[in-house]
Structure 1
Amino acid sequence: MDLDLALVRAFVATAGTLHFGRAAEELGTSQQALSKRVARLEEALGVRLFERRGGVRLSGAGERFLPAAREALAAGERAVASVTGAGPVVRIDTWGHLYAPMRTVAEAVQALGRVGEVPSAGRRGPGAVRWEPAPGRDWPSVAQALLRGDTDLGFGRVHPLPDGRDAGLTQRLVRLEPVDVVVGPSHPLAGAEALRPAGLRGSVLWCPAELNRLDFLRRFADEFGIARRHDGPNLGLDHLVRHLRTDREGFTLFPADAPLPDHTDVRRVPLVGPTPLYAWSLTWRESSRHPLLDTLLRGFTETGRARRWLEYDPRRDWLPDSDRPKLAVDRTPAR
């Protein structure tokens, strides 16, 4: 049978909202017209895609059909773009927002634009690629979005998810960023030129969110014997920094190149012996590779080589056990 993409679009919109009225508003049509399109699609497929008793929810057939339906719409958009000159869209969800993940993505994208492979996000005109970054709540939520087909790429720190919830996803390590310790001016270690992680055992690790969502900080605290830990809701970087300014015992960890709020008197002190490294990765669903994925990976590779993003020496640096398998065989040799 031939799929009518207008019907598929009605199904995908309804599946995203689980509400016929809101889906109709999203598509700029009436609820009656949208319901008829979904019904026509169900009739053509010979299955019920939604259960409508006690609210709207996907049927088993609807859940199986949804990822392929989204892929069909994306393929249709690429087909139209190939003859109209409209550029492709790259949807990328990031997480770990206190650590400013988009600064790394932006460098790779800008490098591609400079060599003419992929126009930068700000360029206009026929064929320009449209980058659509979106904030993901955390790695598990971005993994779900990738598997559903709601986004093309994810960028952040990837770690194994329980119950195989990341099965079907592929990742590429693109940056290892040194981590500093951040303390307030009254902390006893504020005047140090450098610190060893073990020297923080008498301090309190302040976490910017619930610790069960912060795999890197949890592993760091376990590895170096940081027994005193304080977590809570993510209220933003300003809130975290304001607290540290007046705390004589608290500290947090922060990637060395990530920006802190201006006009603060907190101290950033490098960690050595060993230096913890924060692993940034690009991830995608292998069964639905974006046409520009290989080009984008080249951009990360070239930028990483120029910026020495993948330097790692096990005698000098520390990575959590879960990050070590990500090390690529062709990474830049450590010096």
Structure 2
Amino acid sequence: MDLDLAQVRAFLATAEHRHFRRAAEELALTQQALSKRIARLEQGLGERLLERGAGGVELTAAGARFLEPARAALAAANAAVEAVRGTVRPVRLDVWGHLFAPLRTVRQVVDDPAAHGPAPVEVGLGRDLPSAAGALLRGEVDAGFGRRYPLGEGRDGALAHRLVRLEPVDAVLGPDHPLAGADALRPTDLRHGRLLLPAALDRLDFLQRFAERFGVAGVVVEANLGVEHFLPRLRDVPDGFTLVPAEVPLPPGVRAVPLVDPTPLYAWSLIWPRERPHPGVAELLRGFVEVGRRHRWLEYRPGRDWLPEADQGELPDRP
């Protein structure tokens, strides 16, 4: 049979998310359209690839065998198009974690003419790490920048990564918060407040780990209507706070207070496909490393700073 790449893409998105709705959202399809594409693919192959159940979606034995060749087929199709065009295609870089303003860091690297190679960088906005990982594995983007955490389900082994920046994090408070006048706060000082979130806590790995480590029990989940809407909401929650890197611009009426003893650090990583990476990714990584060296982006002192244990294992070896 001749593979229909739209059907292959639908299968891969569903296999990576293990969820029809999330896969459909990522591909900008209805769930019905997504299901039809997968059904046609299964009909053509004569094998069931996915098992649909109340708890989600699982690969069948045939689906597990098809997964890596399907990724390779999609990547080969993308490479064929690029070969015909005969031009240096931009490195497509997706960023996520918009509350923490990832473009501030990316801009410092991309705008530095000595920091990356001849391939231009084309930046897009991803929703979250799982969506970015799916786009990477399907060859739709070449690299991703944001907070990385284990994804499991075979995706971790297919993606390479490098931690490139650690950023001190401040507490952001409204004017009526009882601690708004402090010059500095310990993380434990916030344990009786309410942590405002732009999404459910289980989707915000760093904030979840912070809440667990420092005993913050109260959380308030806000509608994710963008940073411009989310941060001003602190003015209306007298005991509310959130966390952002110290360099993030803030709207009027809220205050950032440095956190000390320890200072939490937010980890940013670059990730890319382990197989057949775009040649410009290596140059882009060298750019992050060089700019980071000049600005001391990876400075970490265990007695002064707090870094989630999983992130500590990502620190590059020191000379």
Fold shared by both chains (TM-score > 0.5)? yes
Shift of 1:117: 5.0
* Cα distance change on mapping 1:62 and 1:89 into 2, 3 Å: farther
Give, in whole Å, the separation in 2 of the partners of 1:50 and 1:110: 46
Residues 75, 138 of structure 2: 8 Å contact kept: no
Tell me the amino acid that sits aligned with residue 249 of structure 2.
P
The equivalent of 1:33 in structure 2 is none
CA RMSD of aligned residues (A): 2.7
Residues 12, 66 of structure 1: 8 Å contact kept: no
Shift of 1:237: 1.4
| Aligned partner of residue 257 in structure 1, secondary structure | coil
The equivalent of 1:294 in structure 2 is 282
- Spell out the pairing of 1:79-158 with structure 2 (5 A cutoff): 79-80=83-84, 84=86, 86-111=87-112, 114-115=113-114, 117-119=116-118, 129-158=119-148
User: CA-to-partner distance for each residue in 1:81-104, whole Å, 9 max, x for gaps?
Assistant: 5xx5x2222111211112221221
Residues 162, 314 of structure 2: 8 Å contact kept: yes
**1:168 maps onto 2:167 in alignment:** no
Give, in whole Å, the separation in 2 of the partners of 1:51 and 1:163: 25
Shift of 1:52: 6.4
Give, in whole Å, the separation in 2 of the partners of 1:117 and 1:184: 40
The equivalent of 1:66 in structure 2 is 70
Give, in whole Å, the separation in 2 of the partners of 1:328 and 1:173: 8
Residues 115, 291 of structure 2: 8 Å contact kept: no
Shift of 1:173: 0.3
The equivalent of 1:212 in structure 2 is 202
**1:282 maps onto 2:286 in alignment:** no
Q: Mean alpha-carbon deviation: is it higher for 243-252 or for 273-282? A: 243-252
Runs of 4+ in 1 over 6 A off after TM superposition: none
Give, in whole Å, the separation in 1 of the partners of 2:115 and 2:196: 44
The equivalent of 2:24 in structure 1 is none
Q: 1:51 aligns with which of 43, 47, 60?
A: 43
The equivalent of 1:28 in structure 2 is none
Give, in whole Å, the separation in 1 of the partners of 2:151 and 2:163: 17
Q: Gaps (5+ residues) in structure 1?
A: 1-6, 19-47, 120-128
Residues 205, 251 of structure 1: 8 Å contact kept: yes
Shift of 1:196: 0.6
The equivalent of 1:325 in structure 2 is 313
Tell me the amino acid that sits aligned with residue 78 of structure 2.
A
| Aligned partner of residue 297 in structure 1, secondary structure | helix
User: CA-to-partner distance for each residue in 1:281-314, whole Å, 9 max, x for gaps?
Assistant: 0011211222112111110011001111110000
Residues 116, 286 of structure 2: 8 Å contact kept: no
Residues 172, 244 of structure 2: 8 Å contact kept: yes
| Aligned partner of residue 149 in structure 1, secondary structure | coil
Give, in whole Å, the separation in 2 of the partners of 1:99 and 1:306: 22
Give, in whole Å, the separation in 1 of the partners of 2:115 and 2:163: 24
The structure whose Rg is larger is 1
The equivalent of 2:220 in structure 1 is 230
* Cα distance change on mapping 1:218 and 1:171 into 2, 3 Å: same
Q: 1:310 aligns with which of 288, 298, 303?
A: 298
Give, in whole Å, the separation in 2 of the partners of 1:116 and 1:142: 23
**1:190 maps onto 2:180 in alignment:** yes
Residues 49, 62 of structure 1: 8 Å contact kept: no
* Cα distance change on mapping 1:51 and 1:257 into 2, 3 Å: farther
Give, in whole Å, the separation in 2 of the partners of 1:51 and 1:326: 43
**1:245 maps onto 2:235 in alignment:** yes
Give, in whole Å, the separation in 1 of the partners of 2:124 and 2:308: 27
Size of the aligned set, in residue pairs, is 276
Give, in whole Å, the separation in 2 of the partners of 1:17 and 1:163: 17
Residues 185, 245 of structure 1: 8 Å contact kept: yes
Residues 109, 116 of structure 2: 8 Å contact kept: no
Residues 92, 132 of structure 1: 8 Å contact kept: yes
Tell me the amino acid that sits aligned with residue 51 of structure 1.
Q
Give, in whole Å, the separation in 2 of the partners of 1:174 and 1:116: 13
User: CA-to-partner distance for each residue in 1:151-197, whole Å, 9 max, x for gaps?
Assistant: 21111000112445423211100000110000001111111111110
Residues 99, 254 of structure 1: 8 Å contact kept: yes
Percent identity over the alignment is: 51
Shift of 1:134: 2.2
Q: Mean alpha-carbon deviation: is it higher for 227-236 or for 89-98? A: 227-236
* Cα distance change on mapping 1:267 and 1:117 into 2, 3 Å: closer
